[in-house]
Amino acid sequence: MFGISEDSLSSAVEEFIMKGIFAAAIVLFAFTFSFAQNEQAPIVEKQFDYKNWSYKNVRGGGEVDLRDFARDKKLVLVVYFAPWCPNWKHEAPFAEKLYEKYRGAGLDVIGVGEYDTADAMKTGLDALKIMFPVVYESESRDAKQKTPHYDYRKQTGDTRSWGSPWNIFLLPGHIEKKGDVLTKNAPVVNGELIEADVEKYVREKLGLPAVEVAATEPTKKKEIEVCDPATSSTSLKKP
């Protein structure tokens, strides 16, 4: 009737269907990836013995002693991470933003790498343009249940498989001047930082005036642990 052959019509229908399937796949992947990147948790004060440590610098230059590092600071954020973890890659730009924005006001940030080689950690830091200092506690995934990081997570109620990232804030008034134990209580985040909450908390502890920060709704995964070294993930770039 319209001068279109059956073969042409069939090809057009197939092309339409394939484009529809491809578009749907892109939408599904984007939704799944976005959902998987968020494992946010609130700042919660916990009672536990957090011990002082001295770890090697990922970028070379000897070791860093945490008690010495925290001296004369108003607030220190210690963030534990596995370089292959999507959740860490999601949080990393915000942690760097905090470091750049509030370093001059008394905040410092230090990362503690876990469960991969120091070279892999350095490569990841370079890709994410992370400038704050980073040390490493372990270099093998076999150390998963053998690190202080693992013990701290279990003591503070973190039930995730790998616990990356895991955040702890150190306050000068809570830091012991000597001994193995650095502090007996500390605010921790068993997951990714919630930006609005952390911004408010940091400004308060630094004695800065409060500013209105857009609220973000915490999003948690319900079933799977996306921080899985056996699962490939797309690297995130700093915006």
**pTM for the whole thing?**
0.79
Least confident of 10-19, 38-47, 187-196: 10-19
pLDDT tens sequence across 73-86: 999 999 999 999 99
* Separation CA 107–CA 31 (nearest Å): 35
Banded model confidence at residue 172, pLDDT cuts 50, 70, 90: confident
Please name the residue that has the structure tokens 């193995």. Answer: 180
Tokens standing for 15?
């092309």
pLDDT tens sequence across 149-171: 999 999 999 999 999 999 999 99
* Nearest Cα to Cα of residue 155 among 143, 142, 168, 170: 168
Which residues, including other chains, have CB under 8 Å from residue 97's CB and lie 6 or more apart?
Answer: none
Count helices and strands in the chain by DSSP H and E runs: 6, 8
Residue 226 predicted with pLDDT over 90: no
Average pLDDT over residues 137-146: 97
Residue range 40-205, CATH number: 3.40.30.10
- Is the CB of residue 123 less than 8 Å from the CB of residue 160? no
* Separation CA 79–CA 110 (nearest Å): 6
pLDDT of residue 189: 98
